[in-house]
Amino acid sequence: FFFFFGCDCLDIGKNFIDSLANRGADGYRIKVTSLLRTPTTVKKLRRVNVNASDSSTHQFGTTFDISYNHFFCLDSTRTINGNDLKGVLGEVLLDLRKQERCLVKYEYKTACFHITATK
C-alpha cells in the first residue's frame, strides 16, 4: 500500500471497515484499482480510457482509484447490497474530504472514486 500525506488507502479501508461494523455489518474490504502510474502506463491507458490524462496525478504518487462497484468479500455468507457498500464508501470519502485530507472525483465510466491526497 502507498502512504500519502494525510489520506491513504489504509485510512480509507480502516474507516470503511469501522463504518460497516458500526452498522452491524462486516466482511467486506475496499478494492484499490489503480495506484502509481508511469508515463508508459499512462500512454497505454489513454488508448482505452477516455478519462485518462497525459498529465495524470497518478504519476506523482498522490492519487489512487478505489472501485465503488467491486469489493472484496471475506465471508460468502454475508450479502450486503452493492449500493449500500458504495454509500458507506462515499460517506467515508466525504468525511475525509470535509477534513480537507483529499479531493474526490466520481468516475462514472470507470466505476471508481478518483482520490487525490491533499494533506
Contact 42, 111 (CB under 8 A): no
87, pLDDT greater than 60: yes
- pLDDT at residue 100 is higher than 80: yes
pLDDT at position 6: 56
pTM: 0.82
Residue 3, pLDDT above cutoff 50: no
34: enclosing H helix or E strand: strand 32-34
Whether 59 has a pLDDT exceeding 70, the answer reads no
As a whole number, mean pLDDT of residues 56-74 equals 84
The rounded mean pLDDT for the chain is 83
